[in-house]
Structure 1
Amino acid sequence: MNKIVIALIAALAAPLAAHAEGAYVGGNIGRAEQKADIASYSVKESTTAYKVYGGYNYTKNFGAEVGFADLREAEKTINGARISSKPQSLYVAATGTLPLDDQFALFAKVGVARNHVKMDVSSKFGSANGSDNRTSPFIGVGASYALNKNISFVAEYENFGKVAKDGSSNIKADFLSVGVRYAF
Structure 2
Amino acid sequence: MKKIIAASVLSLAALSAHAAEQGAYVFGNLGYNFAKPKKLDTHGIEGLSSSHSAAGGSWELGGGYRFNDHFALEASYADFGKAKTSVAARTDDANGNAGVALETTALRLAAVGILPVTSELDLFGKVTLNQMYFNASANASVSIPELGFETAGSASEKQSRLRPGIGLGAAYKINKQLSLRGEYEYVSLPNWAVNGQSVMQTGMHVLKAGVNYSF
Distance 2:26 2:180 in 1: 12
Q: Distance in 2 between matches of 1:163 and 1:49?
A: 19
Matched, 1:87 2:96: no
Q: Residues 75 and 43 (structure 1 numbering): CA distance in 2 closer, same or farther, change over 3 Å?
A: closer
Which of 74, 77, 84 does residue 83 from structure 2 map onto? 74
TM-score under structure 1 normalisation? Answer: 0.79
* Letter paired with 1:53: G
- Does residue 131 (structure 1) correspond to residue 158 (structure 2)? The answer is yes
Amino acid in structure 2 at the alignment position of 1:117: F
Q: CA offsets per residue over residues 88-126 of structure 1, 9 Å max, x none?
A: 011111110111101111111112101001011112363
Structure 2 gaps of 5+ residues are: 1-18, 43-50, 89-96, 143-152
What is aligned with 2:29? Answer: 28
> Once the 2 structures are TM-superposed, how far is the Cα of residue 46 of structure 1 from its aligned partner?
3.6
Letter in 2 for 1:26: F
Residue identity matched to 1:145: Y
Kindly provide the amino acid, as one letter, of the partner of residue 168 in structure 2: V
Structure holding more strand per residue: 1
Between stretches 51-60 and 158-167, larger displacement belongs to: 158-167
TM-score, normalised via structure 2 length: 0.68
SS of equivalent to 2:36? strand
Q: Which amino acid aligns with 1:159?
A: Y
Counterpart in the other structure of 2:170: 143
Q: Distance in 2 between matches of 1:19 and 1:179?
A: 21
| Partners of 1:87 and 1:118 within 8 A in 2 | yes
Alignment of 1:1-184 (within 5 A): 21-37=22-38, 43=52, 45-79=54-88, 80-124=97-141, 126-162=153-189, 165=192, 169=198, 170=200, 172-184=203-215
| Identity of matched residues, % | 31
Deviation at 1:164, TM superposition (A): 6.2
